[in-house]
Amino acid sequence: MWKTLLVDADEDHARRVLALLHRRALGIDLYESGEAAVQMLQRTRASYDVVIINATAPCKEVFLTLKQLQELCLSARFLCVSSVNHGPLYRLRIERLGARFVYE
């Protein structure tokens, strides 16, 4: 079972993602903010196989959260998801940071 960290402030979106992931028997920890997830990782040194970040809101916080989580989860694979198409430059910026990007 892959240990998964989900960072998602949108309650409805998080519920849908959790439903999909639970069907695949993934162990999932949900945090409503990047800041809370970073604080937890700094405190516990937990490790994750997959980190999923809701990147729907086009703000600097998404990129900051991604960078901070990458520093704390060195062996994890990162996926940013968005229900809004922000254009190719947004996707490119995320992928240049080493994460995959999926538009839902």
Going by pLDDT thresholds of 50, 70 and 90, the confidence category of residue 71 is very high
Residue 104 located in a structural domain: no
- Phi, psi for residue 32 in degrees, rounded to 5: -80, -10
Q: Which domain holds residue 35?
A: 9-92
Residue 100 located in a structural domain: no
Across the chain, what does the average pLDDT equal? 93
Residue 98 located in a structural domain: no
Residue 2 located in a structural domain: no
pTM of the model: 0.93
Task: Please check the confidence at residue 84 and state whether its pLDDT lies above 70.
Answer: yes
pLDDT of residue 25: 66
Residue 103 located in a structural domain: no
pLDDT of residue 2: 86
Residue with tokens 């079972």: 1
Per-residue pLDDT tens over the stretch 21-59 = 888 767 899 999 999 999 999 999 999 999 999 999 877
Count structural domains, the chain: 1
Residue 3 located in a structural domain: no
CA distances from 90 to 17, 61, 65, 97 (A): 21, 13, 15, 11
